[in-house]
Structure 1
Amino acid sequence: MPPTEPTPVRKPIPQVDFEVDDLDADEERSLDFYRKVAFHEDMLVPLAEHHDGPQSYYVLFDRTATWGHPGMPQLLAVHLQRDREKRTFSFERAPLPLPAMAQSWLIHRGCRHDAIGLDSELGPPPADEATRALERRLVDNGDHYAMGYSCTCDDPDDMVTVVALRALDERAPSPYRVVVEEVETDAWTHTLREGGFDTSKAALQWCEDRLTGEASPLPPVRPSAAAIPPAGVAKTLAPRPAGRSR
């Protein structure tokens, strides 16, 4: 009889604790937080969290989103600021479709870049270096784009998230971008890819086609003019003038 494979040990799903139960001096704010964030606290999975004194930053997976409006984002970024002396707190929250976008949102609200890494045991890991590179770029440059549309499909046969972005710099090449995350359920990994478009109509049409299984390959993002050296110009740094220091 062949030996049986050992049953993989899954990490218990951690619970999130916002630590605001005793900060209820502002009843209206407490109620607002409960309605927008904490009313299903036991269904929020902390993919990443960082605590810095009275401030806390969370990337949360919302397990209730699958039962809500079809296509809605399943991630929630939350920034909490507590004032224990006054027994109050303030908060910001943003539903977002991709973990890297949630990380970027928190970083641009004061979270340290190196403190909000995702828990590698929760969620499918990146399948390749192209995915990791694009995720790093989204984390670093997420504030360069505005999100115009997203749709998350958690069908086990085709787990995909499409996001249409607009560059805030009107001079940017390929001013409209589409980012696509696909989960390979058998291997339990995910890939992330990006395409560039000249119009919002073309970007949204591609998203619609992908969700119906009719999309063509993503068009490449055009490089910026600054990234293309003029013909005949060497890609070397000019020597520093003698006698000068930085």
Structure 2
Amino acid sequence: MTPTLDLQVDGLRPADEKAADLYDGMHEDEFKVLARHDVGERSLILAFDTTATWGSLYGEPNLAAFDAVRYRGQESFSLHTSQHSNLAFARKWLIERGCPSDALQLSWMRPGDELTARVEERIHRSGDRYEAVDQLAMDSEATDAWTIAVDRTAAELPVRLFLEEVQPDRGTYTLREGAFPDGGSTWRWTRAALARSTAPSISAAAVLASAPAAAAVARPDRGRSR
């Protein structure tokens, strides 16, 4: 059974206004913990936001990353959070805050192929290379998640689309990267792919891999300026 989020801050007050706003605006019982790493009084947590599925906005990010630090002597706590659609970007945020990557592995969900693992690892190590500008998550029989980002190192085709597809019945997910000249062309392709991938026999990731305007990026250095 997936545990409900518990930041372990009972009896503590927010250390600053930001922590107060974040904590007051959330309900811990709405999040299911996927992975957690505790070091002393610091907790780095990857969670699923159960409200995203039936939220007021279609396609809201359904992954939340938390960094909570408890100061027992001061009876206070700090809190930072980040919302994501793609698992790789949620893990990246936590890894950059000191969470070991091994602590973020899911026993019931694994990369579906070598290319997925390679693209995911590149995101984890990307630093400030990618600036995420939009994201979308869709819950269905085959769950899709999209992140559109600007690759600051790309000499051409700087807008990247990261498409993640989850196969719940197999316990796997695939991650692909497409390259586009601008945001408009990215969204035009995305809308067309959504329409085409409604057929059960067609995978959106397969569409991305074969699209002339968005070839899958298989090499880690593709698009990097010299």
TM-score relative to the length of structure 1? 0.75
**Quick check: 2:158–2:180 contact (8 Å CA) kept in 1?**
yes
Q: What is the aligned partner in structure 1 of residue 86 from structure 2?
A: 98
Q: Any residues of structure 2 matched to 1:109-128 within 5 Å, and which?
A: 109=97, 111-114=98-101, 116-121=103-108, 124-128=109-113
Q: Any residues of structure 2 matched to 1:76-155 within 5 Å, and which?
A: 76-109=64-97, 111-114=98-101, 116-121=103-108, 124-141=109-126, 143-155=128-140
> Post-superposition shift, 1:90?
1.2
Counterpart of 2:196 (choices 213, 216, 240) is 213
Higher RCO, Cα 8 Å, sep 6+: 2
Structure 1 position 59 matched with structure 2 position 39 = no
**Quick check: 2:48–2:64 contact (8 Å CA) kept in 1?**
yes
Q: What is the aligned partner in structure 1 of residue 204 from structure 2?
A: none
Q: What is the aligned partner in structure 2 of residue 231 from structure 1?
A: none
Structure-1 separation of matches of 2:151 and 2:19: 36
TM-aligned CA distance change 1:166 to 1:53, over 3 Å: same
Q: What is the aligned partner in structure 1 of residue 173 from structure 2?
A: 190
Unaligned runs of 5+ in 2: 198-206
Q: Secondary structure at the match of 1:71?
A: coil
**Quick check: 2:158–2:182 contact (8 Å CA) kept in 1?**
yes
> Which string of whole-angstrom CA distances, capped at 9 and with x for unpartnered residues, describes residues 220-241 of structure 1?
4444354xxxxxxxxxxxxxxx
What is the one-letter code of the residue matched to 2:126? Answer: N
Structure-2 separation of matches of 1:33 and 1:150: 21
Structure-2 separation of matches of 1:225 and 1:32: 40
TM-aligned CA distance change 1:147 to 1:26, over 3 Å: closer
What is the one-letter code of the residue matched to 2:69? Answer: Q
Q: Secondary structure at the match of 2:133?
A: strand
What is the one-letter code of the residue matched to 2:146? Answer: V
Q: Secondary structure at the match of 1:202?
A: helix
> Which string of whole-angstrom CA distances, capped at 9 and with x for unpartnered residues, describes residues 113-135 of structure 1?
345322222xx322111111111
RMSD: 2.4
**Quick check: 2:86–2:146 contact (8 Å CA) kept in 1?**
no
Structure-2 separation of matches of 1:91 and 1:119: 24
Structure-1 separation of matches of 2:14 and 2:169: 49
**Quick check: 1:103–1:116 contact (8 Å CA) kept in 2?**
no
> Identity of paired residues, percent?
31
Number of equivalenced pairs: 208
TM-aligned CA distance change 1:115 to 1:87, over 3 Å: farther
TM-score relative to the length of structure 2? 0.81
Unaligned runs of 5+ in 1: 1-11, 227-246
Structure-2 separation of matches of 1:196 and 1:92: 31
